[in-house]
Structure 1
Amino acid sequence: MDKKLWEPSEERIKKTEMYRFMNFVNNKHNRDFSDYESLYRWSIENIPDFWAAIWEFADIKASVPYREVVDDPSKMPGARWFSGARLSFAENLLRFRDDHTAIIFQGEDSETRQMSYAELYEEVARVALTLREMGIKASDRVVGFMPNMPETIVAMLAATSCGATWSSCSPDFGIKGVL
């Protein structure tokens, strides 16, 4: 099939994160990418540089920076990424605290809810406090038997913000599917 079914307009392309990233790389790394194909070629020919640029563009927060982006790009799978970095998954996801929409949820019964970043942060802080009061700490494990809904995201972020490992399973699996 040679005929394109759809192609975005130039105006639409310029509003994408991919376009913003391409401009970021052009400015930060003195490149001159003008399209996806050239950026893609650079990403596979310069794996460490590409992923370092992704880290920087995404503004990932780390308490300890990485020493090396990737130990052996030829070893995939199996390469070690961002060796030495220490970061909080929850901190990076909860860094926004404004009224922009963080979660849009629609339940099976068509119930629709939205949660802002500020609301998400407050809910996570409340649940994390409760977990800490229960004695949850780094390296503990917290497991949820919860459906795919905003409260599950809140519980996961709260557990990981305490340094705990989060695992969950949907009740849709049934008891036998879990055990």
Structure 2
Amino acid sequence: MEDERKLLWEPSEAWIKDANITQFIEFVNSNYGKTIKGGKDIYKFSVENIEDFWEAMWKFSDIIASKPYDKVVEDLSVFPGTKWFPGSELNFAENLLKYNDNQLAFIFQGETKVSKQITYSELNKLVARLAKSLKEIGITANDRIVSYIPNLIETPTSMLA
């Protein structure tokens, strides 16, 4: 039986070349001696070489950690409950705010079709402003703040502040 679905879009060669997945595949090939060519190959690598895949993802993503991990994964037989990168310590805000350019950081699409986008530069400014306001009202490190808010751009912004 022939698939009669119409192809809606196909990326250009330039788009493919610049895609993060293409850059990740090149990273894996050069650092792990692989010859991965595309989606099916990277999927196969991810399930057959779980530790190598996630170590490569950590390194490729340039994660900033104040304490390195002891190993990539602890006891894959325990699921759910498997521990990833045990021993590592990192600051989410430091990692998510390390960019300060005009690339998109968040794209929000609400249930009512309201849409909003925010760049890393805008995100950094919003987080800094909110963090300053929190300090001004006496919030300090290790204080707990509770909020009950919907999924909006302001939600991760508040968490980062």
TM-score, length basis structure 1: 0.74
Aligned to 1:30: 33
Q: How does 1:6-17 map to 2 (within 5 A)?
A: 6=7, 8=10, 11=13, 12-17=15-20
| 1:154 equivalenced with 2:157 (yes/no) | yes
Aligned to 1:115: 118
The answer on whether the counterparts of 1:72 and 1:80 sit within 8 Å (CA) in structure 2 is yes
* In 2: Cα distance, 1:4 partner to 1:73 partner: 40
Aligned to 1:61: 64
SS in 2 for 1:140: coil
* In 2: Cα distance, 1:77 partner to 1:21 partner: 27
TM-score, length basis structure 2: 0.81
Say which is worse superposed, 117-126 or 14-23, in terms of deviation. Answer: 14-23
Unaligned runs of 5+ in 1: 159-179
| 1:3 equivalenced with 2:14 (yes/no) | no
Shift, 1:64, TM fit: 0.8
| 1:48 equivalenced with 2:51 (yes/no) | yes
* In 2: Cα distance, 1:123 partner to 1:22 partner: 34
| 1:77 equivalenced with 2:80 (yes/no) | yes
Unaligned runs of 5+ in 2: none
- One-letter code of the match for 2:71? E
Percent pairwise identity? 45
SS in 2 for 1:145: coil
Residue by residue, what CA displacement relative to the aligned partner does 1:117-153 show, whole Å, maximum 9, x if unpaired? 1121011012112223333344432122333333223
Q: Indicate how the Cα distance of structure 1 residues 36 and 110 shifts in structure 2: closer, same or farther if over 3 A, else same.
A: closer
Shift, 1:13, TM fit: 3.8
The answer on whether the counterparts of 1:47 and 1:73 sit within 8 Å (CA) in structure 2 is no
SS in 1 for 2:146: strand
> What is the aligned length?
158
Aligned to 1:140: 143
Q: How does 1:85-100 map to 2 (within 5 A)?
A: 85-100=88-103
